[in-house]
A and B are shown apart, each in its own frame.
Chain A
């Protein structure tokens, strides 16, 4: 048990005597009724089997933040980092601020934020490895870094930046509610350290003495409908109409007088100059996602078209099959897909834990995507392998694998799209994501087949025309999605408006280059479809223009997303400064609190150890829990 001093000051002691039945979202505050088998067991903190004596152990707890009082002294952050032994670049709790007004009628509102231990923890549902658990004890949402494989998806879905992806260790960790302190009746370290009389903690919906409000709304705090966060605020002072962020995010918060809430709005901080920023665009850590999604979509498109053509008995398909280019095409698909999966896996913080990607089939779209794509890859591999053989038996097997591939493609493709429909990332949370993914699959898949046929000398006028038309449909679909997306972004009242601004300014030239390339692609495809085989050499031109537009487009897709986040400060939690520190080398100083992005080794030994040290029955049990939870 956490050692308690004889003379712990009152401010450090939990003091809830009473609580309400239900929280404002209609959920019982008592996490489990008396007598429930989940009650009265140990949390096993650091192998301590003792059970805490906190009388409110089975009530949902949460932080209380008095925004009137916070002075941004960082004591909460320091106490948290000291207790959890966090290096400078990781913080479970951070203080940022918004400010507004004109000197001396100036107002700054500081916000200290950690994990909100939500009723509906999207981190838990998103995590493919099941590293998250929402405990009946205190309703704490805890994450286990030893399970995590460092994909960072939880950091994408959480609207409050609670999970912290450590680029050095390659794993996520987060606020643990100081459950060790709660077990012995102490408030969390951050609360006990607060010097502004701002931060408090207790059973949710309880208002600390001397406070009047329990709001879920302050300027800068993201919307609560995504996760039902367990945090309550007091903020009684009238704020300025516009509250701005000092970090590089181009968002500000504007007061809506009708309902006293603040909406995120565009803050055009760096003017309207249209720029390229190609280095930043193409040099991001998300490159692995670009490679994976594009290659998967291209291969899936090609595979599906190929099967369709084969099964519909098109002459061109038979010609291709009989040409010298057929096996190289299949191998290309296999290698391309393999490379995409390899890149995806190697961008993990712990690539050797790849197998954990399936663990959360029950909740996580990432798990389902991985399962689907793996099935597709298995189907593709079998299909390719049995193409080497002739004879009826091989053909049957080949068909079976083809069917497996198609099933995997449907499942994986759908969840590849679905996993980007994140409410906390409004730029992605739009149907254009599906249009882009399907469009890319059609266009790139058709291109692959056309190039193979061209190389094999079997690109007939009909094949040329069909492939050009299917590719054109892909381009049209993507273009329609993009048009609708831009229109919706422009008129949105969310972080999406800032994404639109970045799209038209910081990456404005790159964005237009991509759009022009899409038009060129379309024009070329139309030309081919009308001119027939005489223009088939244009597929070679298309290879370059389509690759360029695809890569640019996908890079823009990742770089332009602006999540709903907590406001940062001028240096700390300021994305702009983090980038500056990495670019200039300031980040070489460890005490700067900025770590570089790292690639992490595939530790084969660790994988083999796990295989060796896990008993067969445990392996089977784990397999079962993939489905049972």
Chain B
């Protein structure tokens, strides 16, 4: 020592005693990081770390992943099945047989009385793919309701819809390796550093090496916007206008890749005719980006060797969400930027397994992107499952958002809610509350019994969470990765797969349909169903996936047999001319007329309400709200409000304010910052009974995804701050 003590004392540094590290894939966002959880000698999960040789995260984790092992014993976990006759009665402990019988009997009763579609099933993007597949089989093959959807309608539906409209198939065509090759990156409504920190790190690594220009389109000055070469602070909901104007410039100046267009697309003339109307001078007045900037960005993008576009909820959660995705695809197609290194339109997905549910849950159709509308698809699946193809509906049913409207008007009487919390997550909470109050029967299956939606449940089924279960998830770059059971479910809670299989037994008395118990076996069954399709996974097994730290699809049985090792990364879709999934192999260029149907600020409600995520929280905070080292960075709801607006209202930093929309009101603490313009506030959506009390959530005509980010409110100063503090605290229990 230099000074301090002549006698050196031994040093104590915390050692959690992790002896064994078990492999899993992170259960938060769609980045798909490989994670290792350390178990001490008692077998208790005590630490998490990134897997060093995983291509996706190369040993890194964000703050949520770093504390993911604390999820297992977080508060509010459901330990026993519970039942009650009416939702307003107290819960009574039950057992699995009684609870499952009750759910089965109620489904049968309601379907008999009101028709098969009067019972709805809503799932999630949080479960494992084998669980989605099993639930899909149970729902489509045995229960037979067509009102079956997932909460992915709230996050990725517009991306799915846009991809399908442009390419006739879902599945992001690019990969993270594209950052290493791109010459221009446009981020549309995506705040990577906060929403997908590990993808941001990959991008930043690449950018420090090659210095490609970064353009960020976002109404808020996020860290990404601040660090971008160009920030376009767009007027909310007008992305399509900006896209059209950029296409106008590209076509007017002849910057398009005509060879690519001719070889790979249809609809060029119609698109050209439509974008003709969007000269930058006119467009600038609508989207708020000046005409010079529009031209500069369009030229930069079109002239880049390889140009890449990413987007997230800024595009998806809009009444033009699907159109926005198509617009991004249009720009990519016009410039020949699909399927080449560094040239792609990459939807940065939301939930950890949103992709898995898109591929395998049968929510929007049948497994592996098969359509209910396609007789051959119905036939194939019916044969594989050993069910009557006529049992399948001929057309997909309602989306989650429409299901809630049907519940409100009484067309849907029963609901089975799985790992999702619409009372927090759907727009316009008062309507959601009313819809749920009116149900004859509601079962909630969740790993947390304090999930707010359980307020209106008659049966509660305690499920396992994340790595208490076994199965796979698919990430943003179509990488299938494995979750191993690291911990066991607490109390009598059971993995969702077990619950589905037990429920299936009750609908499958003649045992006609097979429901394998093991996730690895189910995965093989899925592999067989995927052969020859876009998302062909027939070459993969659980063991091979873990060995490779995830494998991007497609990886076929034929490749496996030929001894072709799955690549570490860099796999893209539509790399050959004419390889799109429309019958003619060509993608569609789709004209996008802009109709301004947003709720925009007016005299009575003069402020834009913009909602979004924070890095430290995951969705409804049921997970991160209980982990101190995540939650502490934003433990209560707040708004970012411009100091000039606050001064006009007489609001000081740290005071609570009341926000009022045409729907209801909400209370949050004011953070004064010039990050937002004077006519806009930003309100994180994570907090129960807050943002979604205010949101309108107009639905996108194609994807039925709600426009969470464009509502109008007014803000009122609160005189009695103590009462406001109490109110804000009472409205949420964690």
Closest to B225 in A: A104
Q: B673 contacts which chain A residues (CB < 8 A)? A: 99, 106, 246
Distance A43 CA – B9 CA, assembled complex (angstroms): 8
Q: Does B52 have its Cβ within 8 Å of any Cβ on chain A?
A: yes
Distance A47 CA – B221 CA, assembled complex (angstroms): 50
- Cross-chain contact A179 with B3 (CB below 8 angstroms): no
Q: Does A577 have its Cβ within 8 Å of any Cβ on chain B?
A: yes
- Report the minimum CB–CB distance from B608 to chain A (whole Å): 13
- Cross-chain contact B11 with A108 (CB below 8 angstroms): no
Which chain B residues (383-424) contact chain A, with CB distance < 8 Å? none
- Report the minimum CB–CB distance from A284 to chain B (whole Å): 19
Q: B62 contacts which chain A residues (CB < 8 A)? A: 73, 75, 78, 195
Which chain A residues (266-299) contact chain B, with CB distance < 8 Å? 269-271
- Cross-chain contact B616 with A625 (CB below 8 angstroms): no
Distance A106 CA – B644 CA, assembled complex (angstroms): 14
- Report the minimum CB–CB distance from A273 to chain B (whole Å): 11
Q: Does B205 have its Cβ within 8 Å of any Cβ on chain A?
A: yes
Which chain B residues (685-715) contact chain A, with CB distance < 8 Å? none
Known contacts A591-B734, A629-B6; is A78 also within 8 Å of B1 by CB? Answer: no
A592 contact from B47, B221, B635, B674, Cβ within 8 A: B635
- Cross-chain contact B8 with A41 (CB below 8 angstroms): yes
- Report the minimum CB–CB distance from B467 to chain A (whole Å): 17
Q: Which of A251-259, A435-443, A565-573 contacts B (4 or more CB under 8 A)?
A: A565-573
Q: Does B632 have its Cβ within 8 Å of any Cβ on chain A?
A: yes
Distance A190 CA – B673 CA, assembled complex (angstroms): 28
- Cross-chain contact A78 with B629 (CB below 8 angstroms): yes
Q: A136 contacts which chain B residues (CB < 8 A)? A: 1-2
Q: Does A328 have its Cβ within 8 Å of any Cβ on chain B?
A: no
Distance A192 CA – B57 CA, assembled complex (angstroms): 12
- Cross-chain contact B223 with A72 (CB below 8 angstroms): yes
Known contacts A82-B47, A193-B61; is A73 also within 8 Å of B632 by CB? Answer: no
- Cross-chain contact A74 with B10 (CB below 8 angstroms): no
- Cross-chain contact B729 with A584 (CB below 8 angstroms): yes
- Cross-chain contact A133 with B1 (CB below 8 angstroms): yes
Q: B722 contacts which chain A residues (CB < 8 A)? A: 584
Q: A47 contacts which chain B residues (CB < 8 A)? A: 10
Q: Does A508 have its Cβ within 8 Å of any Cβ on chain B?
A: no
Q: Does A210 have its Cβ within 8 Å of any Cβ on chain B?
A: yes
Closest to A134 in B: B2
Q: Does A130 have its Cβ within 8 Å of any Cβ on chain B?
A: yes
Q: B52 contacts which chain A residues (CB < 8 A)? A: 5, 7-9
- Report the minimum CB–CB distance from B643 to chain A (whole Å): 9
A88 contact from B1, B58, B227, B631, Cβ within 8 A: B631
- Cross-chain contact B3 with A593 (CB below 8 angstroms): no
- Cross-chain contact B193 with A88 (CB below 8 angstroms): no
- Report the minimum CB–CB distance from A516 to chain B (whole Å): 29
- Cross-chain contact B11 with A46 (CB below 8 angstroms): yes
Q: B231 contacts which chain A residues (CB < 8 A)? A: 104
Distance A75 CA – B654 CA, assembled complex (angstroms): 26
User: B222-250 toward A: CB 8 Å interface, digit per residue (1/0)?
Assistant: 01111100010100000000000000000
Q: B615 contacts which chain A residues (CB < 8 A)? A: 72-74
Distance A11 CA – B208 CA, assembled complex (angstroms): 14
Q: B66 contacts which chain A residues (CB < 8 A)? A: 75, 78-79, 82, 193
Closest to A181 in B: B13
- Cross-chain contact B635 with A133 (CB below 8 angstroms): no
Q: A88 contacts which chain B residues (CB < 8 A)? A: 628-629, 631-632
- Cross-chain contact B5 with A75 (CB below 8 angstroms): no
- Cross-chain contact B221 with A269 (CB below 8 angstroms): no
Which chain B residues (19-73) contact chain A, with CB distance < 8 Å? 47-48, 52-53, 58-63, 66-67
- Cross-chain contact A195 with B197 (CB below 8 angstroms): yes
Distance A89 CA – B633 CA, assembled complex (angstroms): 11
- Cross-chain contact B635 with A589 (CB below 8 angstroms): yes
Q: A169 contacts which chain B residues (CB < 8 A)? A: none
- Give the number of chain B interface residues (Cβ < 8 Å): 77
- Report the minimum CB–CB distance from A225 to chain B (whole Å): 19
- Cross-chain contact B633 with A572 (CB below 8 angstroms): yes
- Cross-chain contact B631 with A592 (CB below 8 angstroms): yes
- Report the minimum CB–CB distance from A22 to chain B (whole Å): 15
- Report the minimum CB–CB distance from A38 to chain B (whole Å): 7
- Cross-chain contact A101 with B674 (CB below 8 angstroms): yes
User: A200-219 toward B: CB 8 Å interface, digit per residue (1/0)?
Assistant: 00000000001000000000
- Cross-chain contact A103 with B221 (CB below 8 angstroms): yes
Q: B726 contacts which chain A residues (CB < 8 A)? A: 584
Closest to B725 in A: A584
Distance A577 CA – B224 CA, assembled complex (angstroms): 27
Known contacts A12-B59, A589-B734; is A179 also within 8 Å of B13 by CB? Answer: yes
- Report the minimum CB–CB distance from A199 to chain B (whole Å): 12
Which chain A residues (82-131) contact chain B, with CB distance < 8 Å? 82-89, 99-104, 106-108, 110, 124, 130
- Cross-chain contact B201 with A196 (CB below 8 angstroms): yes
Distance A81 CA – B632 CA, assembled complex (angstroms): 13
Q: A107 contacts which chain B residues (CB < 8 A)? A: 226
Q: A86 contacts which chain B residues (CB < 8 A)? A: 629
Q: Does B260 have its Cβ within 8 Å of any Cβ on chain A?
A: no
Q: Does A33 have its Cβ within 8 Å of any Cβ on chain B?
A: no
Closest to A590 in B: B628
Q: Does B290 have its Cβ within 8 Å of any Cβ on chain A?
A: no
Q: B11 contacts which chain A residues (CB < 8 A)? A: 43-46, 142, 144, 176, 179-180
Q: Does B634 have its Cβ within 8 Å of any Cβ on chain A?
A: yes
- Report the minimum CB–CB distance from B732 to chain A (whole Å): 10
Closest to A107 in B: B226
Q: Does A466 have its Cβ within 8 Å of any Cβ on chain B?
A: no
Q: B8 contacts which chain A residues (CB < 8 A)? A: 41, 44, 133, 135
Q: B675 contacts which chain A residues (CB < 8 A)? A: 99, 103, 106, 108
- Cross-chain contact A77 with B13 (CB below 8 angstroms): no
Distance A178 CA – B15 CA, assembled complex (angstroms): 12
- Report the minimum CB–CB distance from B103 to chain A (whole Å): 32
Q: Does B90 have its Cβ within 8 Å of any Cβ on chain A?
A: no
Q: Does B4 have its Cβ within 8 Å of any Cβ on chain A?
A: yes
Which chain A residues (1-56) contact chain B, with CB distance < 8 Å? 5, 7-9, 11-12, 31-32, 38, 41, 43-47
Known contacts A45-B10, A210-B208; is A82 also within 8 Å of B200 by CB? Answer: no
Q: A83 contacts which chain B residues (CB < 8 A)? A: 14
Distance A271 CA – B631 CA, assembled complex (angstroms): 31
User: B201-227 toward A: CB 8 Å interface, digit per residue (1/0)?
Assistant: 100110010000000000001011111
- Cross-chain contact B4 with A71 (CB below 8 angstroms): no
- Cross-chain contact B197 with A133 (CB below 8 angstroms): no
Q: B1 contacts which chain A residues (CB < 8 A)? A: 38, 133-136
Q: Does A387 have its Cβ within 8 Å of any Cβ on chain B?
A: no
Closest to B193 in A: A71
- Cross-chain contact A195 with B631 (CB below 8 angstroms): no
Q: A110 contacts which chain B residues (CB < 8 A)? A: 223
Q: A248 contacts which chain B residues (CB < 8 A)? A: 653-654
- Cross-chain contact A73 with B676 (CB below 8 angstroms): no
Q: B198 contacts which chain A residues (CB < 8 A)? A: 195
Q: B625 contacts which chain A residues (CB < 8 A)? A: 591
Interface positions of A (Cβ within 8 A of B): 5, 7-9, 11-12, 31-32, 38, 41, 43-47, 69, 71-75, 77-79, 81-89, 99-104, 106-108, 110, 124, 130, 132-136, 139, 142, 144, 146-147, 176, 178-180, 192-193, 195-197, 210, 246, 248, 269-271, 569-572, 576-577, 580-581, 584-586, 589-594, 625, 628-629
Closest 8 CB pairs of A and B: A88-B628, A593-B632, A78-B63, A44-B10, A133-B4, A71-B193, A591-B628, A85-B14
Known contacts A193-B66, A589-B635; 16 additional CB pairs below 8 A are: A82-B67, A82-B629, A88-B629, A104-B225, A134-B4, A136-B2, A144-B11, A176-B13, A193-B61, A571-B634, A571-B638, A577-B654, A584-B725, A586-B725, A593-B635, A625-B5
Can you list 28 A-B contacts with CB-CB less than 8 angstroms, sorted by A residue number? Answer: A46-B12, A71-B193, A71-B224, A73-B63, A73-B197, A77-B629, A82-B67, A84-B13, A99-B673, A103-B676, A103-B678, A133-B1, A134-B1, A135-B8, A146-B12, A192-B59, A195-B198, A246-B673, A271-B652, A570-B638, A571-B633, A590-B628, A591-B625, A593-B635, A625-B5, A625-B7, A629-B3, A629-B4
